[in-house]
Structure 1
Amino acid sequence: MLYWALVFLVVAIVAGALGFGGIAGASAGLAKILFFIFLAFLVISLLAGIFKRA
C-alpha cells in the first residue's frame, strides 16, 4: 500500500509540474489517503504483535 501511495505522489508531482492542476490534486489526495491507511495498518500490526507475545 505504501508503494501505491508513492506512485500517486509521483504522479501528482509530475502532473503538477506539467500544469495539470486537477489531476495533481486528485493524485495527491489519493496518495495522502493511502499513506494514512498504511500508517493505521502499521500501528494495528505493531499492537497485535505486542499483545500476541504477552
Structure 2
Amino acid sequence: MLGWALTFLVIAIVAAVFGFGGIASASAGIAQILFFIFLALFVIGLIVHFVRGRSV
C-alpha cells in the first residue's frame, strides 16, 4: 500500500513539473489518501501487537 502511495506521489510530481494541474492534484490526492490508510493500518497493527504481547 505504501508503494502505491509513493507511485502516485511520483506521478503527481512529474505531472506538476510538466504543468498538468488536474492530473497532479488527482494523483496527489490519491497518494495522500493511501498514505493515511497505510498509517492507520500501521498504528492498528502496533496496537494489536502490544495488546497480544509476546507468545513463547
- Where does structure 1 differ by over 4 angstroms across 4 or more consecutive aligned residues? none
How far does the alpha carbon of each residue in 1:3-46 deviate from its partner, in whole angstroms, 9 at most, with x for none?
A: 00000000000000001000000000000000000000000000
Task: Report the RMSD for the aligned CA atoms in angstroms.
Answer: 1.0
Contiguous gaps of at least 5 residues in structure 2: none
TM-score with structure 1 length normalisation? 0.97
Bigger Cα Rg: 2
Give the fraction of aligned pairs with identical amino acids, expressed as a percent: 63
Counting helix residues as a fraction of each chain, which structure ranks higher?
Answer: 1
Report what 1:34 is aligned to.
34
Aligned pairs, how many?
A: 54
- The aligned counterpart of 2:2 is 2
Q: Where does structure 1 lack aligned partners over 5 or more consecutive residues? A: none
TM-score norm. by structure 2 comes to 0.94
